[in-house]
Structure 1
Amino acid sequence: MISSDQPSCVTLETSQGSIVIELYWKHAPRTCRNFAELAKREYYNGVPFHRVIRDFMIQGGDPTGTGRGGASIYGRYFEDEISPELKHTGAGIISMANSGPNTNGSQFFITLAPTQWLDGKHTIFGRVKSGMQVVKRLGMIETDPNDRPVEPIVINRAYLTPFHIIHKVVDVLCSFAEAVANYCFEPALDICFTGRHKTKPERIRPRHVARDRPATVYKWSRS
């Protein structure tokens, strides 16, 4: 069970939108502690995603923006936490970037596709809980020959996000969306005409139309 001093999620507010990362405290407690504490200290604020490789991953967390900087809360580096239960099975996996075994600092990457060849070499410590569309958008950014974004992608702010707050926000957004849908849309109706023209109805599949447009769709033919 996650204790109160182990925040369930970290939110990254980027220049392209927000990404909420769920942390795997059970499998990588020291790595999660490092990531959460760096976010709490505002270490990632203003730090870029300095490396983007389409259909592979986006990498950030280096305050120098060079790919050679960054340090952990434990010192320059800390050891790997490889869990056999966690695999790079698809997009949205969060892992530590490194330059070899036990060289974890502050840099991390988010996968854009399955990357099984990284299993056992990089510490997986979370996944994208929400904001996957933002991640995909970042993965399509134009880059130079060195995989650096032509237009900088910046983490404007990183902060801890308790899981119950995320649930509450999602519930509010869902309720709002439902209310808007109920107000703005209503089912179209099939109308049957009778009279001297002897018209007959032609069946129309139900659909939704905006309330400020005619709510009834007429489609008829003479008999």
Structure 2
Amino acid sequence: MARIKPQALLIQSKKKKAPTRVSLTTIITCNLLVILVVLSLYATYNHWYKRSSNKLDTELINSEHSNDTGERKKFDLPGYAVLETSKGSITVELHKDSSPEVVDKFLDLCQKGYFKGMRFHRVIKHFVIQGGDPHNLGAAEEWTLHRKSDGQLETSPKHEAFMLGTSKAKANAKGFEIFITTAPIPDLNDKLNVFGRVIKGEDVVQEIEEVDTDEQYQPKSIIEIINITLKQEP
């Protein structure tokens, strides 16, 4: 058997202990995998970040739109109504801020044509003219007739003439009565929900006030509301 020289053994030992070389292909593959993982994490983060941001922006826009719609709705509500009667036109300014619920109901009924053909069935000089259902009066009838029969016609600077209101006694009923005062009424707030005032056509109100009536203060001739037109400006 041939004898191996010490120098050859040393070289052979070094070759066995030397680390195995990593190929260039393996290095490139590993680097690509690391890059793909980083890009994937970045893409995921970017996706959720944008989604969260877009959701927040959408909520803010919806919130602003909702507020704008609410403000616009309130702003766009008609502020005036023109009552076309058989005696002429009466323009009223609606109190949208002080009587919003009553005004809303009045506007809704106007759009449904509720007041077309409504008669002024009670006319009391120096007191009120009243329109509504003459067969379903209730407390309103008692109030108007009692006030007139007792002759209690004191005036008060607090409550002017030509105010538009509806009976508090029927505020929750399906119907809707209209009162236009023709003189200041001391206890107006106790009896009526005032939701407007006449700004044009006071002479028409006075003309209606002067018509002939029977003992129950019902006009002997028909006086009715032909139509009501809603307007933004007087």
Q: Which shifted more, 15-24 or 33-42? A: 33-42
Which residue pairs with 1:34 in the alignment? Answer: 105
Counterpart of 2:211? 141
Partner of 1:9: 80
Query: Which deviates more from structure 2 when the two are superposed, residues 90-99 or residues 15-24?
Result: 90-99
Judged with a 3 Å threshold, the aligned counterparts in structure 2 of structure 1 residues 100 and 47 are, in CA distance, closer, same or farther, namely: closer
Structure 1 runs (4+) deviating above 3 angstroms are: 98-105
Greater helix share, structure number: 2
How far off its partner does 1:4 sit?
A: 4.3
Amino acid aligned to 1:107: E
1:130 aligns with 2:189: no
Counterpart for residue 230 of structure 2: 160
Amino acid of the residue matched to residue 49 of structure 1?
Answer: F
Query: What is the distance in 2 between the residues matched to 1:30 and 1:101?
Result: 10
Paired residue secondary structure (1:89): coil
Q: Deviations over 1:108-151 (max 9, x none)?
A: 20000000122233211000021111001111111011111000
Q: What secondary structure, in the 3-state scheme, does the structure 2 residue paired with 1:34 have?
A: helix
Q: 1:97 touches 1:104 (CA, 8 Å); kept in 2?
A: no
Q: TM-score, normalised by structure 1?
A: 0.59
171, 176, 181: which one aligns with 1:106 = 176
Do the aligned residues in 1 keep the contact of 2:159 with 2:188 (CA within 8 Å)? Answer: no
Task: Choose between structure 1 and 2 for higher RCO, CA contacts under 8 A separated by at least 6 residues.
Answer: 2
Query: Rg bigger for which structure?
Result: 2
| Identity fraction in percent | 35
Equivalent pairs counted in the alignment come to 145
1:61-140 → structure 2 map (5 Å cutoff): 61-62=132-133, 65-68=134-137, 89-99=159-169, 105-140=175-210
Q: 1:9 to 1:101 in 2, by over 3 A?
A: closer
Contact 1:101 1:121 in 2 (8 A): no
Question: Hey, what's the Cα distance between the residues in 2 that align with 1:99 and 1:151?
Answer: 27
- Structure that is richer in strand per residue: 1
CA contact (8 A) 2:163 2:194 kept: yes
Structure 1 vs Structure 2 CA RMSD: 2.3
What code does the residue aligned with 1:97 have? Answer: S
Q: CA deviation at 1:8?
A: 0.4
CA distance in 2, matches of 1:108, 1:155: 11
- Residue 99 of structure 1 and its aligned partner are, at CA, apart by 3.4
Classify 1:122/1:45 alpha carbon distance in 2 versus 1 (closer, same or farther; 3 Å). Answer: same
Matched residues in 1 for 2:159 and 2:230: separation? Answer: 26
